[in-house]
Amino acid sequence: MKYKTEKKGNHEEVSTFCVPLKIIEDDVKDFLSLSPDTLMHTLRVARIAQDLSATTEKRVDLNILMSSCLLHDNARPFIERSKGDMSLHAKEGAHLAQDYLNEKKLFDKSMNKKIVRCIEEHSRSVGPKPSTIEAKILFDADKLDAFNHFRISRYFKNLAINNQGKSQLSLYRGNRIKNFTVEEFVAYFNKKLNSIADSLFLPSSKEEAERLLPLSLQFLQTIEKSSFLN
């Protein structure tokens, strides 16, 4: 993707090719090559974050923001493979990013620290609250991706039939696989989508969540109706 690394005035941005970000993007594509869902989510989050950065009057360091977006979920595939606790992925991801950035020397130490902090703060399950504008944008972009229709459809990829003849989904939750019937999942996800706007930091993120909510709920309903076994 193209990275905008300069801001002119409050909203106008200049698109420039940025070598460190291109290197990180290529490395992330490599790390996540066996986890296409996480990779696609990561790239979408970077895109959403870039758009959100143009909506704030605050000065946003786009190198910090884009680097943290690209690296934010790197620990997910490792945790999933080792059946570890997914609620720790932000903390684990921060450690992985720290090692990666130290080794690559793309930015100075203080920048690396700021990037790592954004990653640590992107999940509220155990991590601290986002403390900088870049961390808040990453947090919001990550949550806004929950409305993505392709992502929603991927939850249904492992649809199976349970003993009662009902369609059932198996999803990784916390540190275990949880089974949901389609009705249970739709109810759970409906509630989740409805609660997103309140958790966001930027007014523009909240507006976007409100715009996307009815579209995603309708999509979810369409999928539910299509799972004809229930």
Single out the segment in contact with Fe ion by CB under 5 A; choices: 46-54, 107-115, 141-149, 202-210.
141-149
CB 180 within 8 A of CB 167: no
208 binds Fe ion (CB under 5 A): no
Residue with tokens 């869902």: 37
Tokens of 185: 């999942």
Single out the segment in contact with Fe ion by CB under 5 A; choices: 23-31, 61-69, 137-145, 192-200.
137-145
Looking at beta carbons only, is 138 or 197 nearer to Fe ion? 138
- Site size for Fe ion, by CB under 5 A? 2
Helix (H) or strand (E) holding 171: strand 167-173
Single out the segment in contact with Fe ion by CB under 5 A; choices: 6-14, 59-67, 139-147, 213-221.
139-147
x-or-dash string of contact with Fe ion, 45-84, rule CB under 5 A:
----------------------------x-----------
From candidates 134, 142, 208, 224, binder to Fe ion by CB under 5 A: 142
Q: What is the DSSP string of 1-69?
A: ---EEEEETTTEEEE---HHHHHHHHHHHHHTTT-HHHHHHHHHHHHHHHHHHTT-SS---HHHHHHHH
Q: Position 158: which residue type?
A: N
**Site residues (CB under 5 A) for Fe ion?**
73, 142
